[in-house]
Amino acid sequence: MPGLEEVMQTVDKSDTARLLEWAQGWLKEERGHYIDGAWLYEGAAESIPSIDPGTGRRLCEIRQAGNREIDAAVAAARKAFADRRWRSMPRRERSRLLMSIADLIREHSAELAALEALDNGKLFKEAINDDLPEAADVFDYYAGWTDKHYSECSPQDEGFINYTVHEPLGVCALIVPWNFPLLLAMWKIAPALAMGNTVVVKPSPFTSLSILRFFELLHEKIDNLPEGVINLVTGGAETGRLLCEHMGVDKVSFTGSTATGKAVVASSAASNLKQVSLELGGKSPNIVFDDVPDLDFAIERSYAAMFSHKGEKCSEPTRLFVHRKIHDQFVARLVDIASGVKCGAQFDESADQGSQCNQEQFDKIMRYIEIGKSEGGRIVVGGERDTRGENGRGLFVRPTIFTDVDNRMKVSRDEIFGPVLVVIPFASDDEVIEMANDSIYGLAAGLWTRDVSRAHTVAGRLDAGMVFINRFGCYDFASPFGGFKQSGWGKEMAVHSLAAYTRLKSVWLKL
């Protein structure tokens, strides 16, 4: 069927009626797996429904890959890696191809964002403004790394030369979560391809639509990508397990919950000890000292960093520590913002917050709200379902803020992954640093202060992989993304991510 760029030649991106008309037509088409440069529709009849969480309506069926499909996808990727057509492609040509993928995403950003919003529940304006630009730009960034990942020559005694070589790992299984399905897939695909690997991508069964469309576009528009270099299988937990256990997979890159990450490690270790990188959960602290440089900005940014994308973000600042002197004022302002939020369907231009991604996650959030109340926490805003969605079936949760909590409660310790914030007062630097670090997670942390000495001292003492000073949530492709402790292994982004998609070989020569 025609792409959306043809359908929308004379209309603006905000013409949601045309977007939805195109999407509804696209959803009627049969969905398959993309293996060895072709779509595979045969195989297991088992499928998974894709549900619009804003309405509860079924969008389409997603095929569940089993042993046959996994074996075929891994074999295709292995063959493409072994024949060296991709990794031996001239670096500038590989770079140009990656940049052409970036352009492809930009050209089709409206339709990709529409599908992303439909099955994730996030607002279309969030998908088109936040997710899609970076999903394209990351290919431009890694296109620049194809000829810049230098090796080294180590100093040796006379008569010997020793140098290192960065080689591609081989077949990489890329397992993508449901909160930023297209963007986080691109975070993995771009560096893996840049380093000469071949890949098998598995999206979440809740949010496969945008990635399916992306692969359709690759197949239709990118001519010089060798068959088998990039493959797609869809399915649930069993499909992921089969990939992790497969003897033909050399590396697994997984983003998702800490519990599932541990299962990925166990499956990978039980097979062939394949390399694993993990970007997992978080319970990130956000510390506001009484000398905060701009109180208004701190309040607005703390709210946005926490509640945007309906709180379904691993690095969101879910534990807010505010100095006692400004605690009540800070909370009151947050309550004002949250009270004015409108929950609404994905294409509602007036909506501020979309629906949670799936029923399981919605139920988990509501369960934790009840746990927080039973622990003695006081809800100052929110705490209930918003029934303004269509016929009350949408999975909308009002932005929820707890006070009268401490750092030992489950709502303060467990990753809820939704629009639930706990606010805890503190009196001293040592006290708040101890509370901030008292977590199994160590993904991100933030602090707000005018004191440069305090800023650097506290940043150095926080046990987190990313620390944001005077603006929570600063991200750039040139900066590594990843955490400590049970928040994961390895880094996404920057030069540091290339270690996840290469192996280091040491070569000796006797003169």
Q: What is the 3-state secondary structure (H, E, C) of 53-104?
A: CCCCCEEEEEECCCHHHHHHHHHHHHHHHHCCCCCCCCHHHHHHHHHHHHHH
Here the contacts of 264-270 (C-beta below 8 Å, separation 24 or greater) are 264/175, 264/240, 267/241, 268/244, 270/245
List of residues 6+ apart from 430 with CB closer than 8 A:
none
- The pLDDT value given to residue 14: 52
Report which DSSP code applies to 157: -
- The pLDDT value given to residue 228: 97
8 Å CB contact between 507 and 163:
yes
Q: Rounded CA gap, 31 and 146, in Å?
A: 33
Radius of gyration of the chain (CA): 23
Q: Rounded CA gap, 209 and 80, in Å?
A: 26
31 confidence band (pLDDT: 50, 70, 90) = confident
Whether 317 shows a pLDDT value over 80: the answer reads yes
Whether 55 shows a pLDDT value over 60: the answer reads yes
Whether 4 shows a pLDDT value over 70: the answer reads no
The model's pLDDT over 454-480, given as tens digits with 9 standing for 90+, comes to 999 999 999 999 999 999 999 999 999
Which tokens belong to 4?
Answer: 């959306």
8 Å CB contact between 212 and 27:
no
- Which of 314, 316, 343, 357 is labelled catalytic? 314
- The pLDDT value given to residue 42: 73
Instruction: Tell me the sheet residues that pair with 425.
Output: 322
Q: Rounded CA gap, 315 and 117, in Å?
A: 20
The distance of Cα 453 from the centroid of its chain, to the nearest Å, equals 33
What is residue 282's three-state secondary structure? coil
Q: Which amino acid is at 511?
A: L
Q: Which of 34-43, 188-197, 420-429 has the lowest mean pLDDT?
A: 34-43
Q: Is 2 exposed, middle or buried (0-12, 13-18, 19+ CB in 10 A)?
A: exposed
DSSP for 295-328 reads HHHHHHHHHHHHHGGGG--TT---EEEEETTTHH
Nearest CA to 126 out of 183, 53, 79 is that of 183
The model's pLDDT over 425-446, given as tens digits with 9 standing for 90+, comes to 999 999 999 999 999 999 999 9
- The pLDDT value given to residue 1: 37
- The pLDDT value given to residue 184: 97
Q: Rounded CA gap, 433 and 458, in Å?
A: 7
User: What's the mean per-residue pLDDT of the chain?
Assistant: 94
Helix H, strand E, coil C: the string for 396-407 is EECCEEEECCCC
Instruction: Tell me the sheet residues that pair with 411.
Output: none
Instruction: Tell me the sheet residues that pair with 41.
Output: none
What is residue 425's three-state secondary structure? strand
279 is catalytic: yes
Nearest CA to 47 out of 161, 155, 205 is that of 205
Q: Rounded CA gap, 82 and 488, in Å?
A: 30
- The pLDDT value given to residue 17: 87
Q: Rounded CA gap, 113 and 110, in Å?
A: 5
Whether 297 shows a pLDDT value over 50: the answer reads yes
The distance of Cα 459 from the centroid of its chain, to the nearest Å, equals 24
Higher pLDDT, 241 or 15: 241
List of residues 6+ apart from 48 with CB closer than 8 A:
61, 62, 63, 64, 205, 234, 235, 236
The model's pLDDT over 207-254, given as tens digits with 9 standing for 90+, comes to 999 999 999 999 999 999 999 999 999 999 999 999 999 999 999 999
- The pLDDT value given to residue 387: 79
DSSP for 352-404 reads SB---S-HHHHHHHHHHHHHHHHTT-EEEE--SEETTSGGG-S-EE--EEEES
Whether 361 shows a pLDDT value over 50: the answer reads yes
Which tokens belong to 160?
Answer: 């010997």
Residue count of the chain:
511
The predicted model gives 298-324 an average pLDDT of 97
Nearest CA to 191 out of 289, 288, 115, 94 is that of 94
- The pLDDT value given to residue 46: 82
- Strand 251-255 versus strand 275-279 pairing type: parallel
Q: Is the dihedral of CA 133, 342, 355, 6 positive or negative?
A: negative
Whether 9 shows a pLDDT value over 50: the answer reads no
158 is catalytic: no
Rounded to 5 degrees, φ, ψ at 172 are: -110, 125
Q: What percent of the chain has pLDDT over 90?
A: 93
Whether 453 shows a pLDDT value over 70: the answer reads yes
- The pLDDT value given to residue 3: 43
Rounded to 5 degrees, φ, ψ at 509 are: -135, 125
- The pLDDT value given to residue 43: 62
- The pLDDT value given to residue 6: 42
The predicted model gives 359-377 an average pLDDT of 97
Whether 490 shows a pLDDT value over 60: the answer reads yes
Q: Rounded CA gap, 379 and 393, in Å?
A: 24
Q: Which amino acid is at 381?
A: V
The predicted model gives 21-39 an average pLDDT of 94
- Which of 279, 312, 415, 492 is labelled catalytic? 279
- The pLDDT value given to residue 214: 98
What is residue 275's three-state secondary structure? strand
The predicted model gives 285-293 an average pLDDT of 98
- The pLDDT value given to residue 16: 83
- The pLDDT value given to residue 15: 80
Q: Which amino acid is at 172?
A: C
2 confidence band (pLDDT: 50, 70, 90) = very low
Q: How far is CA 81 from CA 38, 77, 224, 249, 480, in A?
A: 17, 6, 15, 11, 27
